[in-house]
């Protein structure tokens, strides 16, 4: 039974003629009407929701990552680290969502697979943007976005701009360590190539963390981010293999072999190499 003071409280918060309600603020009518299965198959709702949830986490990641990159450019390491920690937490949530999706069997999936034709996560512009921000620059990956000029423009900008790792290396140079010009002024539209001098600079940071504490902490945060990204790739691959085996992907790639090759990608190579050097 409600106590009288609860009722008073409720009355004060039931007039939404003048005030924004929870649903209005969060635009829940739009969000909750955006799940439109194309079949009657029970599991199609799960499939749509998991993709949408991951896209929302990606949206937050892009928001945090771009702000963290701007702060790092200005040399503000601490607040950037806080944002990168949030990126890591979002990645963990994305990883957890595979557990829910894995409850769908191959037979469940086949109930609705034909309905979405050639649509594939391969065409996710947010995912590609995150890859570009992290530095996995593959210009041909822009092709699936030609039909959406606003997405294409966003990707083009990120392709031409320094990645998170480029910005980190500029900071390392600004703190007096030796990063060669060929690395600092490279063609940003290509992936970073491992460099012996960069490796030596990180080695100095890891040998003397007390002298380079901010850089040391930043380096470990970058390793956290890449570690989590690898886990996402691996969880996706395993989920895909258990659901579609070695069938071709809806986006037109070979499917599992394509995803397995992506496991070889290294975003911040010298940060992994330095572990061997120590
Ligand atoms: C039944 C579940 C799923 C299957 C069978 C599946 C299958 C595939 C396959 C085969 C590819 C390779 C590209 C292609 O030819 O289509 C791919 C790529 C991709 N998928 Fe999934 N996927 C599933 C769930 C998801 C979910 C929940 C997400 C979350 C957003 C996702 C995001 C992606 C992304 C971003 C790529 C591009 C990866 C890259 O280019 O490295 N997928 N998927």
pLDDT digits (tens, 9 = 90+) for 199-208: 999 999 999 9
* Domain contains 6: no
Residue 61 token pair: 């990641």
What is the domain count for the chain?
Answer: 1
* Domain contains 269: yes
Q: Is 237 in the pocket of ligand 1 (CB under 6 A)?
A: no
Residue 253 pLDDT greater than 80, yes or no:
yes
Mean pLDDT of the chain, nearest integer:
96
CA distance 255 to 258: 5
Q: What is the pLDDT of residues 153-191, one digit of tens each?
A: 999 999 999 999 999 999 999 999 999 999 999 999 999
Q: Which of 16-30, 67-81, 217-231, 264-278 has the lowest mean pLDDT?
A: 16-30
Give me the domain span that covers residue 155: 41-111+121-245+258-277
Distance 250 CA to ligand 1 centre (A): 9
**Closest ligand 1 atom to Cα of 244:** 5
Q: What is the pLDDT of residue 14?
A: 78
* Domain contains 199: yes
CA distance 194 to 134: 15
Q: What is the pLDDT of residue 4?
A: 61
* Domain contains 95: yes
* Domain contains 188: yes
* Domain contains 233: yes
Integer Rg of the chain from CA: 23
CATH for 233? 1.20.58.480
Q: What is the pLDDT of residue 17?
A: 81
Residue 89 pLDDT greater than 80, yes or no:
yes
Mean pLDDT within 1-29 = 79
Mean pLDDT within 255-264 = 97
């Amino acid at each position: 039974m409600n106590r009288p003071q609860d009722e008073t409280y409720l009355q004060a918060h039931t007039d939404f003629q003048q005030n924004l309600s929870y649903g209005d603020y969060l635009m829940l009518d739009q969000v909750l009407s955006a799940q439109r299965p194309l079949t009657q198959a029970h599991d199609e709702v799960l499939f749509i929701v998991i993709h949408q949830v991951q896209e929302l986490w990606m949206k937050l990641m892009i928001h945090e990552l771009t702000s963290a990159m701007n702060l790092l450019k200005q040399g503000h390491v601490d607040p950037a680290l806080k944002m990168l920690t949030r990126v890591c937490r979002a990645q963990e949530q994305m990883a957890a969502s595979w557990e829910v999706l894995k409850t769908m069997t191959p037979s469940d999936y086949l109930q609705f697979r034909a309905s979405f034709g050639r649509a594939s996560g391969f065409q996710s512009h947010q995912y590609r943007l995150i890859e570009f921000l992290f530095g996995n620059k593959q210009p041909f990956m822009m092709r699936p976005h030609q039909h959406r000029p606003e997405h294409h423009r966003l990707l083009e900008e990120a392709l031409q701009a320094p990645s998170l790792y480029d910005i980190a290396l500029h900071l390392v140079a600004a703190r007096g360590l030796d990063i060669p010009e060929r690395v600092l002024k490279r063609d940003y539209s290509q992936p970073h190539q491992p460099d012996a001098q960069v490796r030596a600079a990180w080695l100095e940071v890891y040998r003397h963390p007390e002298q380079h504490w901010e850089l040391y902490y930043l380096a470990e945060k970058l390793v956290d981010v890449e570690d989590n990204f690898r886990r996402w790739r691996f969880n996706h691959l395993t989920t895909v293999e258990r659901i579609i085996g070695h069938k071709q992907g809806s986006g037109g790639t070979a499917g599992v072999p394509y995803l397995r090759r992506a496991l070889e990608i290294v975003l911040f190579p010298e940060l992994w190499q330095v572990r061997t050097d120590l």
